[in-house]
Amino acid sequence: MESGPAAIIAAKRRGPRWSWRELLHAPDPMDGFRPPAWLAGGHRQTLAAYWLRRLLRWRLPSEDLVVEAGQGVRLLLRASWQPGPREERKALLIVHGLGGSDASSYVVSTGQLAYARGFHVIRMNMRGSGDGEALCPLLYNAGLDNDLLAATSAVCQLVPRVVTIGFSLGGNLALLMLGRRRELVPRGLEAAAAVSAPVDLAACAAALEAPGNGLYQHYFMRMLSEAYRRRHAARPDLFSAGRELGLRTVREYDDRITAPFGGYESAAQYYQRSSAGPWLGAIDRPALLLAAEDDPMIPASAVTRWPVSATVTRQMLRSGGHVGFVARSQAPGWFWAPERALAFLADAPPR
C-alpha cells in the first residue's frame, strides 16, 4: 500500500501551518477542490485526513437528545443550538460512518464550520455508537434507514427547516432513506449531502480485499471485533461469545455477524438490500453525492453506474480519497468537503 511522501510524516508532527485568518480567506469552495500536489492520490488523501484532523474535539455547548426509534432502539443525538429563536435558522443533522460517532473528526470539522455559518448543529450517533452505546447496545448497519428517519423526524419537530449530511456509511444511509422512504421523509428535510458514500456495498467490500488495502481492512476488523466484544459483555443473552473470532475481512464479519443480527440471510443479501445505489433515481429532493475517483474503498464505477433523479447532483472528483478531500479550507483540519456540502445545503429552497 502506498505510504505517502515524507511530507505526510512532517504533517504528523507539525499539523497544518495555516492560521485561522488564512483559513477564513480560503478560496470559494465552488471554485473547485485544489489539493497540494504532494497530497494527490487516494491513499495520501485518506491517511493525511486522519493525521490532520485527529486532534479535533467538539468544544461548543451541546444538549443531549434521546430519540425513540421503535423496538427498544434509543438513539443519542447531540444538539448545539444557535442563540435566538430556533425557527430562524436551519439545522444540520450530521451522520457518521462505520466505526464513528458524534466525536469523529470529520463530524467535528463539519459541525464547527456549519455552526460558524449560522446552522444549528445536531450530531447523530447511530444505534449503539459512541456514548449512545449505553442507551442501546444493538448493532447498526447500512440498511437501518428507519433509524435515520426517526432522528430526522425528531429534529424536524424542533426546527422547521432541516438539512442532513452523511459520511461514508452514513452517506449511504441518508441517500437510502431519501429514496426508499421517500413518502415518509418529513417535509421539513429540505436537502441532503453524502460524502464518500458506499452506495454499492458489495463492490466496496470487494475493494477492501484488493491488494494495497490491507491497512484499512485491518483497521475496520479491529474496530468491529472490539465493538462486538463490548456488545457481548453488555448483552450476553443476545450476543454469543467468540462469534467474531477468526474473521479476516469485513465481508466475513458481515456474513457471520451483521447479516444474521440485521435480519438478512447472508452478507450478499445484506449488501443487495442496503445499498443506496438502486434508489438514487427515486430521490425527489435536492441531494449531493460527492465522491473521489481515487477512493481506495469505493470504486468510481460503483458510484457512477446508477442512474440518478433530476434532483441529485453527483460530483466525482479526480482525487480526494475516502472522506479525505484534504486541501486548504475554512473547515478545521484541511477538510474541503464540508465547504462544498454546506454551500449546496444552504441554497436548498424551503419545501
- Residues 122-156: pLDDT tens digits? 999 999 999 999 999 999 999 999 999 999 999 99
| Residue 134 grid cell | 449505553
Given this model, what pLDDT does residue 175 score? 98
Residue 323: which residues within 8 A CB-CB, separation 6 or more?
46, 49, 97, 106, 167, 168, 195, 196, 337
Of 8, 16, 99, 107, which is closest to residue 60 (Cα–Cα)? Answer: 107
User: What is the structure's pLDDT at 24?
Assistant: 35
* pLDDT of the residue at 333: 97
pLDDT at 14: 34
- Over range 313-324, report the average pLDDT: 97
Averaged pLDDT, 186-200: 98
pLDDT for 28 beyond 70: no
Which of these ranges, 2-11, 22-31, 109-118, 294-303, has the smallest mean pLDDT?
A: 2-11
The model's confidence at residue 338, banded by pLDDT at 50, 70 and 90, is very high
From CA 137, how far away is CA 231, in angstroms rounded?
A: 6
21 — pLDDT class (breaks 50, 70, 90): very low
With a cut of 60, say whether residue 249 has pLDDT above it: yes
pLDDT exceeds cutoff 90 at 300: yes
Nearest to 126 by CA among 165, 168, 156, 95: 95
On the question of pLDDT at 7 being above 70, the answer is no
| Whole-prediction pTM | 0.90
Q: What percent of the chain has pLDDT over 90?
A: 89
Indicate if the pLDDT at residue 25 is higher than 50.
Answer: no
